[in-house]
Amino acid sequence: MVKTPHLKVMPLGGMNEIGKNMTAYQYENDIIVVDAGLAFPDDDMLGIDIVIPDITFLKKNQDKIRGLVYTHGHEDHIGATPYVLKQLSDLQLYGSRLTMGLIENKLKEHKGLGKHKKNVVKAGDVVQLGAFEVEFIHVSHSIPDAFSLAIKTPVGTVIQTGDFKIDFTPIDGLMTDLPRFAQLGSEGVLALFADSTNVERPGFTMSERTVGETFEEIFHHSEGRIIVASFSSNVHRVQQIINSAMANGRKVAFAGRSMINVSTVSLELGYLNVDDDTLIDLKDIDRYPDNEITIITTGSQGEPMSGLSRMATNEHRQVEIRQGDLVVLSSSPIPGNEKSVTRIINLLYEKGANVIYNELADVHTSGHACEGELKLIHALVKPKFFVPFHGEYNHLRRHAQMAEEMGIPNENIFIMRTGDTLEFSRIHAKFGKPVPSGNVMIDGLGVGDVGNVVLRDRKHLAEDGLMIVVVAIRKDTGEMINAPDIISRGFVYVRESEELMNGARDTITATLNKSIAQNVRDWTGLKSSIRDALRSFLYEKTRRSPMILPVIIEV
């Protein structure tokens, strides 16, 4: 039997989960990779800074990788880049000017990654990467210069939408390239991999232009300082805030590390335009009257260390929120951040500021296509096979249902998970052998050195603290040298728990005495006896189970 070559598509992240987007396409000896994103840690990943995809598969197949292609410059699509570049050599990177600018900026903090070649592409460009011909198609999203990809392979064309929406009146005048989707559709598309984030929302997303009109209205009627918190990468949003400021005779100052970083890159590359005399330094804001001040900052998700949070808690060096300020949260809470956002709104109100947020006015719109837009793309592309992408299971499932309602046979729709392999011939598609995948956790400089055991210990310590028992034992006689030393942290206020601590010491001493009487020399066994006795004692007295660490020193 002759084995026909086929296309393999392997999501290494971002499928049936949110974040760390990365997909590998393989045809025989050629591999291309789309995106290299990070995810933010789940609540149970204590102390973890960020999460990146497991790239074991790519490391094993390094010699086959023809390119790393980016759809756009959001962290969940570019954030793993430094870690990926460190583990792979001589990659060719392809992305839009803004995407590559943000990646360059990110790589500044990391050394020795210069060997990789960075290529700037623009909408309409086609690059040949081994067996793959990759075309970049302009789409609207909540960051400028975003692409869908049309990947021509020997078995047919695959379209991966990336994150996108359709804005009929975009700020930069560049609409999602619907004619190109239509053209590819009429030429025949093997498979569509499409953004599912907002599939549960009916209709179409509100235009970014409407948000601009709201800002114009707000600026026109305000007399105090205006402080707007938004996502630093939403450059069009930032531009519209700047436009409203300029139209109303206000200066603009940026605050918050990532807002300053991304704005600087956007200004340099010409994505952001502002009059020379409008932009001022944050430290100079007090030189102007309140009605001439606009501050654009981070913190729209209530993040504790962000610009806005620090302003609201008196921890910001240059700005403190005061009576008369107007604060606009130009965002909506990302799931999981609802409480932090409410907290910051309450803090701002308590400081005497007025606050405008998503529920009160049209100060935000999503970057992801709603159901109507998705249907439009499906109608234009008319793919043979469909894979819902970017979303949790409920989104993927809903998107699959939608595709079926639009006429794709159920057996041609595949709900995948990260690590799955989907194999395509010209006429068939089926699941193949999975590839290694998972969460690589980054904590400080450590990449993957924190795993489940460490996390389990952190959780245990977080909930009940610990108790350390130190006993010195004479090697010759097996007798204790002095009373056992007890140290506890995160368990109880030791000073107010004298009785408990005495009881603990008595429990340990009794266990030790028994062991000495029996002339035990098995320290491992003795440690576990101490642990068991102490655990029972503490649980009975407190209904808590601190981590118990017995240490025996033989002298």
- Going by the annotation, the residues of the binding site for Ca(2+) are 47, 49, 443
418 backbone dihedrals φ, ψ, rounded to 5°: -50, 130
CA atoms within 13 A on the CB side of 146: 30
Q: How many whole angstroms separate alpha carbon 30 and alpha carbon 47?
A: 38
Binding residues: 47, 49, 72, 74, 76-77, 141, 163, 232-234, 364-368, 390, 443
The length of the chain in residues reads 555
Nearer to its own copies, 5 or 451 (CB): 451
Instruction: Write down the least CB distance from residue 60 to its own copies, Å.
Output: 20
Nearer to its own copies, 167 or 325 (CB): 325
> What are the tokens at 345?
């709104």
**Which of 278, 355, 288, 286 minimizes the C-alpha distance to 318?**
286
Nearer to its own copies, 18 or 121 (CB): 18
Q: Locate tokens 């009576």: which residue?
A: 323
- Of 195, 236, 316, 395, catalytic: 195
**Residue 429 Cα distances to 6, 87, 157, 394, 413, angstroms:** 10, 31, 14, 23, 9
Q: Which run of H or E residues covers position 26?
A: strand 22-27
Question: Which strand ranges, in their side-by-side order, compose the sheet holding 446-447?
Answer: 50-53, 439-443, 446-447
Nearer to its own copies, 122 or 474 (CB): 474
Contacts with its own copies by CB under 8 A lie at 43, 46-47, 200, 335-336, 338-339, 342, 345-346, 349-350, 355, 359, 392-394, 397, 443-446, 449-451, 453-455, 457-466, 468, 470, 472, 481-482, 485, 487, 489-493, 496-497, 541-544, 547, 549, 551, 553, 555
Instruction: Write down the least CB distance from residue 393 to its own copies, Å.
Output: 4
Binding residues for substrate: 232-234, 364-368
Pairing of strands 126-129, 132-139: antiparallel
In this structure, are residues 382 and 182 in contact, taking their beta carbons and an 8 Å threshold? no
Question: Which strand ranges, in their side-by-side order, compose the sheet holding 226-229?
Answer: 251-255, 293-297, 226-229, 326-329, 354-356
In this structure, are residues 270 and 145 in contact, taking their beta carbons and an 8 Å threshold? no
CA atoms within 13 A on the CB side of 449: 5
Residue 220 falls in the annotated catalytic set = no
Nearer to its own copies, 168 or 393 (CB): 393
- Of 368, 378, 395, 399, catalytic: 368
Nearer to its own copies, 393 or 431 (CB): 393
DSSP sequence for 188-208:
--SEEEEE-TBTTS-S-PPPH
Instruction: Write down the least CB distance from residue 49 to its own copies, Å.
Output: 9
Neighbours of 80 (CB within 10 A): 28
Instruction: Write down the least CB distance from residue 133 to its own copies, Å.
Output: 36
CA dihedral 5, 6, 12, 15 (to 10 degrees): -170
Nearer to its own copies, 5 or 352 (CB): 352
Instruction: Write down the least CB distance from residue 335 to its own copies, Å.
Output: 5
Instruction: Write down the least CB distance from residue 253 to its own copies, Å.
Output: 27
Binding residues for Zn(2+): 72, 74, 76-77, 141, 163, 390
Instruction: Write down the least CB distance from residue 476 to its own copies, Å.
Output: 13
Strands (E) located in 244-335: 251-255, 293-297, 326-329
In this structure, are residues 366 and 142 in contact, taking their beta carbons and an 8 Å threshold? yes
Strands (E) located in 400-519: 422-424, 429-431, 439-443, 446-447, 466-473, 485-489
Residue 476 falls in the annotated catalytic set = no
Q: How many whole angstroms separate alpha carbon 216 and alpha carbon 145?
A: 25
Instruction: Write down the least CB distance from residue 523 to its own copies, Å.
Output: 12
Neighbours of 547 (CB within 10 A): 18
Q: How many whole angstroms separate alpha carbon 495 and alpha carbon 144?
A: 58
Q: How many whole angstroms separate alpha carbon 554 and alpha carbon 455?
A: 31
Nearer to its own copies, 178 or 466 (CB): 466
Instruction: Write down the least CB distance from residue 461 to its own copies, Å.
Output: 4
**Which of 137, 76, 68, 43 minimizes the C-alpha distance to 458?**
43
Q: Locate tokens 């970083």: which residue?
A: 261
Nearer to its own copies, 18 or 100 (CB): 18
**Catalytic residue set:** 195, 368
